[in-house]
Amino acid sequence: MKNGFKKAIAVFGLVAATGMVLSPALAEEFEVKMLNKGEKGTMVFEPDFIAAQPGDTIKFVPTDKGHNVESIKGMLPAGVEEFKSKFNAEYVLTVDEEGVYGVKCTPHYAMGMVALITVGELGNLDEAKEAKHKGKAKKVFAELFEQVQ
Ligand SMILES: [Cu+2]
């Protein structure tokens, strides 16, 4: 009984160690809900701040209807093409390039429905901070940039 327990601990340890070695290679998937009402108020991405690594995916889920996700001019790493998703549809963004990604919901941008994604080295951070925003998006982005490490 005692030996069996020790053996179980050893196996568990081995599995845990193997998992730790392998995990950096596995891309992570983040899920962002598009909501009419969330913890931060109405018309929000939840979460609205994501710290990702190159190769990770951000899945935008149309939990509530009437939303989409669109890149914001001046808030994409160099070489990343602008994008705009369809309404009421899931959209998966793969973040291969390092830097800051700023996104908005097209109709609710001025209501502050925006999100910030950081990936690895943030070479375009200063440029992204200088982007001009409409309405409440200005305040939300100021708060989001405070969360950047
Ligand atoms: Cu929206």
Beta partners for residue 115, in sequence order = 103
Question: Beta strands of the chain (E only): which ranges?
Answer: 29-38, 41-46, 49-52, 56-61, 70-71, 91-95, 99-104, 114-119
Q: What angle do CA 66, 92, 74 make, to 5 degrees?
A: 80
> How many whole angstroms from 64 Cα to the centroid of ligand 1?
9
Please give the pLDDT value at position 103: 98
Residues making up the annotated binding site for Cu cation are: 67, 105, 108, 113
Per-residue pLDDT tens, the chain, 149 aa: give them. Answer: 455 555 554 555 555 555 555 555 689 999 999 999 999 999 999 999 999 999 999 999 999 999 999 999 999 999 999 999 999 999 999 999 999 999 999 999 999 999 999 999 999 999 999 999 999 999 999 999 999 98
Q: How far, in Å, is the centroid of ligand 1 from the Cα of 66?
A: 6
30 Cα: distance to centroid of ligand 1 (angstroms): 19
Which pTM was predicted?
0.83
Distance from C-alpha of 72 to C-alpha of 23, rounded to nearest angstrom: 31
What size, in residues, is the chain?
A: 149
Measured CA distances, 122 to 30, 51, 52, 135 (Å): 19, 11, 11, 26
Which residue ranges form the domains of the chain, and what is each CATH number? 27-145 (2.60.40.420)
